[in-house]
């Protein structure tokens, strides 16, 4: 994921987090969700016809480290969380979803590590109007929603937004 791709979601609304399965825990004043490969649905305030989806996935590096992968698409038909149903114009959501309020994306921070040749993403933090949504990669993703900035992050690789 490049900095230019991340910049594309600044000023968009993070409308929904879509997941196949979900375990939910209250952690302090926030919430923690455990799920496989979440899909983030972003919506532009000016272009309602073309949502943007980030599909988060994970792989293990040759050294045994977790690596976060982000694929970007505008096509809901390619996502397993949606299903085409005759009579409906848009594909229907057939998975669990997490809805958020005050969803304007203000900043995205990307964390990870560098080896001699490459950068590897491990987590991202999306700052919305009054909350932080953190995605930490692994065989099971940890999604944390809090009012305070998350602690114990890997090294910051870059940030975009205010």
pTM over 0.85: yes
From CA 118, how far away is CA 137, in angstroms rounded?
A: 18
Question: Tell me: the pLDDT tens digits for 47-94?
Answer: 878 888 898 999 988 888 889 999 888 877 777 666 666 676 666 666
Question: Tell me: the pLDDT tens digits for 89-133?
Answer: 666 666 677 888 889 999 999 999 887 778 889 999 999 999 999
Question: Tell me: the pLDDT tens digits for 2-44?
Answer: 777 788 899 999 988 888 888 898 888 888 999 888 989 899 9
> Across residues 136-152, what is the average pLDDT?
91
* Sheet-wide strand order for 132-136: 23-27, 30-35, 141-146, 132-136, 119-127, 107-114, 155-161
- The confidence score (pLDDT) of residue 117 equals 78
Tell me the Cα Rg of the chain.
Answer: 16
Burial label for 108, CB within 10 Å (0-12, 13-18, 19+), is buried
């Amino acid at each position: 994921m490049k900095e230019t791709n991340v910049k594309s979601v600044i000023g968009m609304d993070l409308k929904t987090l879509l997941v196949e399965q979900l375990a939910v825990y209250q952690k302090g004043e926030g919430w923690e969700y455990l799920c496989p490969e979440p899909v983030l649905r972003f919506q532009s305030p000016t272009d309602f016809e073309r949502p943007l989806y980030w599909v988060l996935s994970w792989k293990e590096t040759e050294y045994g480290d977790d690596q976060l992968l982000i694929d970007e698409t505008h096509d809901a038909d390619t996502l397993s969380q949606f299903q085409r149903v005759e009579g409906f114009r848009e594909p229907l959501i057939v998975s669990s979803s997490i809805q958020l309020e005050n969803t304007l994306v203000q900043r995205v921070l990307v964390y990870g590590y560098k080896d001699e040749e490459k950068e590897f993403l491990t987590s991202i933090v999306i700052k919305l109007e009054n909350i932080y949504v953190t995605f930490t990669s692994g065989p099971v993703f940890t999604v944390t929603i809090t009012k305070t900035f998350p602690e114990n992050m890997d090294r910051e690789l870059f940030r975009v937004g205010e």
